[in-house]
Chains A and B, each alone.
Chain A
Amino acid sequence: METVRKWVQVIIGFLTNSSWSFPFTNAIYQGPLKVICAPGLNCYSCPAATTYCPMGSIQQLLGGLRFALENGQYYFGFSVFGTIGVLGGLFGRMICGWACPFGFIQELLHKIPSKKFAIPRILSYGKYMFLLVFVVVLPLVLVDEFGSGSPWFCKFVCPAGTLEAGLPMLLLQPNLRNSLGLLFLNKFVIMTIFLIWAVFSSRPFCRTACPLGAFYALFGKVRLIKLHLDEAKCTNCKACHHVCPMGVKFNESPDDPECISCLACMNKACQFDAISLEIGGIPLATPSKGMSPVGKS
């Protein structure tokens, strides 16, 4: 199943970044596919991006809301919130585990042999702050003399944007290098910190700072597809604790907002068939290992 997940990550990463003419055009894709929302965090200024980033779009729409309202345009971000809300209601943070290119990059970095460190649970609340403050409040409230707000998360934090868009654009358009300043230095340092941290800890950006992950986390209890714990079969052996890339203690918190449904606990850890994948309450898959709660060998 892990191989299937990796292939799904590669295919979705390719589908959301499938415009490979940029080495010849030195520009980003500008076709009609960009009306489609990327399920994961994928900067739309990436030269290969063929979809839009929901977090980038929400900030742009909210930043331009005053100007839009003055012109009779009601661009509150309903279509973007609607799209990621439907995705959240269907999959929740399964998107993070299966369809986010930046999550995939962090997973690959974490495979580099090194000493590994856990991430304190309290840091996971940081991403809700980024969602509320940097994506919603600041673009709405702090506006310039023309009434336009800035995309604060993209501008000052997003390491995915620096890696997928900033650096490639600097390579493609050398004249942009003259514009580099403190803003880029700040974002480059943040990107470097998260990429190095990803070697030592599993998915640090997803767990501590990703606003899209925070949004999908809100659907932890109500998403259609999720993992189910059969408490009658669970022996509380805690094997699921050791394989979870998100630090979830599944037997203690089966609806944990951090769960990305990578299925590692179900396939790699649980020997008692206590964990299954379900759709709306109906079991979809339960690995049969032929063990009973009293029959562990």
Chain B
Amino acid sequence: MSQAGHDLRKKRPIRKAPFVVISIFLIFWMIGVATGEPARVLEQAIQVCLSCIGIG
């Protein structure tokens, strides 16, 4: 590693908060998948919701 690159890494510590947040939401996603939610989402997404788009 070059001296400049080494200095940059020393200056700014790696932030851990983003990894914690991403992990939490990844668990959320896995819970949703485990309950079969994506199938329900797909079922809704392939239908035109007329009232949603202001018609009907």
Q: Which residues of A contact B (CB under 8 A)?
A: 27-32, 34-35, 43-45, 52, 56-57, 60-61, 68, 73-86, 88-90, 150-151, 154-155, 158, 161-162, 165-166, 169-170, 176, 179-180, 183-184, 186-188, 219, 221-224, 228, 278, 280-283
Contact = CB atoms under 8 A, between A and B. Distances in A.
A77 B52 contact: no
Contacts of B32: 76-82
A224 B9 CA distance: 16
Interface residues of B, number: 42
Given A79-B29, A89-B22, A278-B12, A61 B54 contact: no
Given A30-B46, A161-B54, A166-B54, A85 B28 contact: yes
B52 A56 contact: yes
Nearest to B17: A222
Interface in B1-38: 8-9, 12-15, 17-22, 24-33, 35-38
Contacts of B31: 78-79, 82
B40 A73 contact: yes
B18 to A, nearest CB: 4
Contacts of B50: 176, 179
Nearest to A54: B41
Contacts of B52: 43, 45, 56, 151, 154-155, 158, 161, 165
Question: Interface of chain B, helix or strand or loop or mixed?
Answer: helix
A61 B26 contact: no
A86 B22 contact: yes
Nearest to B23: A89
Which residue, of B13, B38, B39, has the highest number of chain A Cβ atoms within 10 A? B38
A283 B55 CA distance: 49
B41 A52 contact: yes
28 contacts: A30-B46, A35-B38, A43-B52, A52-B44, A56-B44, A61-B40, A61-B41, A73-B40, A75-B35, A79-B29, A79-B31, A82-B25, A82-B31, A84-B25, A85-B24, A151-B49, A154-B53, A161-B53, A165-B48, A165-B53, A166-B53, A170-B55, A176-B50, A179-B55, A183-B51, A183-B54, A183-B56, A224-B22
Nearest to A92: B18
Contacts of A86: 22, 25-26, 29
Nearest to A157: B54
A88 to B, nearest CB: 7
Question: Interface of chain A, helix or strand or loop or mixed?
Answer: helix
Given A56-B52, A60-B49, A82 B44 contact: no
Query: Which 3 A-B pairs rank lowest in CB-CB distance, beginning with the nearest?
Result: A79-B32, A82-B29, A85-B25
Given A43-B53, A176-B55, A73 B36 contact: yes
A150 B50 CA distance: 12
